[in-house]
């Protein structure tokens, strides 16, 4: 006989699945305020005791583990829930953990790659700044070099002019000296 766990006299289901312990109570405790059997009451009390022990700091058990421990479920049948395959929470948990680990690993790799890209962009900007500074220095040095070259050319021209004019004066002076002797 199936008893709706949400059904209470005059109430509608709330849409929230009850814990398996509460579900067990709702399905084994009659509307006449008594248990359907002594065994059902014993099982319920054992579940509550395990739940209290688990909550008091002992190594905690999940509600499903508590119910499975007390009712000693067999494959293909879940006591208190009728026939049907119980989902393998261990396998599902392992699969979910693997998915989460993969997602975490992928997120870390993306973060590392993003950080590396940001570092490379920063280095590129630094190098571009250095290149601009060096180009400015090269322009300044070229300007100074042009000024020095222009001054040297001017000095060379003046020396040449002076030498040319000096040699003419020297010839004139030599000629003058020769005639004066």
Quick: pLDDT tens for 141-180.
999 999 999 999 988 888 878 777 766 666 666 666 666 5
Instruction: Give the pair of three-digit tokens for residue 3.
Output: 């008893």
Tokens of 151: 């001054």
- pTM, whole model, 2 decimals? 0.36
Confidence of residue 121 (pLDDT cuts 50, 70, 90): very high
Q: Report CA-CA distances (Å) from 174 to 95, 159, 161, 162.
A: 114, 21, 20, 17
Could you tell me the residue ranges of all domains in the chain?
20-86
Alpha helices by DSSP H, the chain: 20-28, 38-55, 63-71, 89-180
What pLDDT digit, counting tens, does each position of 67-85 carry? 878 887 665 555 555 555 5
CA–CA separation, 24 and 48 (whole Å): 11
DSSP code, position 34: S
First to last CA, the chain: 158
77-78/82-83 β-pairing = antiparallel
51 contacts 66 by C-beta, under 8 angstroms: yes
- Most confident residue range from 4-18, 70-84, 108-122: 108-122
């Amino acid at each position: 006989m199936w008893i709706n766990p949400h059904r209470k006299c005059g109430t509608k289901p709330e849409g929230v699945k009850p814990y398996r312990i509460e579900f067990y109570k709702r399905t084994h405790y009659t509307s006449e305020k008594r248990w359907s059997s002594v065994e059902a009451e014993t099982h319920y009390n054992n579940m509550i005791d395990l739940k209290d022990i688990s909550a008091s700091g002992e190594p905690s058990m999940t509600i499903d583990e508590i119910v499975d421990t007390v009712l000693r479920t067999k494959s293909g049948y879940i006591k208190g829930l009728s026939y049907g395959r119980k989902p393998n929470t261990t396998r599902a948990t392992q699969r979910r953990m693997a998915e989460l680990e993969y997602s975490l690993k992928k997120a870390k790799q993306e973060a590392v790659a993003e950080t590396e890209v940001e570092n490379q962009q920063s280095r590129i900007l630094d190098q571009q700044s250095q290149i601009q500074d060096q180009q400015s220095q090269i322009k300044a040095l070229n300007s100074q070099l042009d000024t020095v070259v222009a001054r040297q050319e001017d000095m060379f021209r003046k020396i040449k002019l002076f030498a040319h004019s000096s040699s003419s004066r020297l010839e004139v002076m030599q000629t003058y000296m020769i005639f004066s002797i």
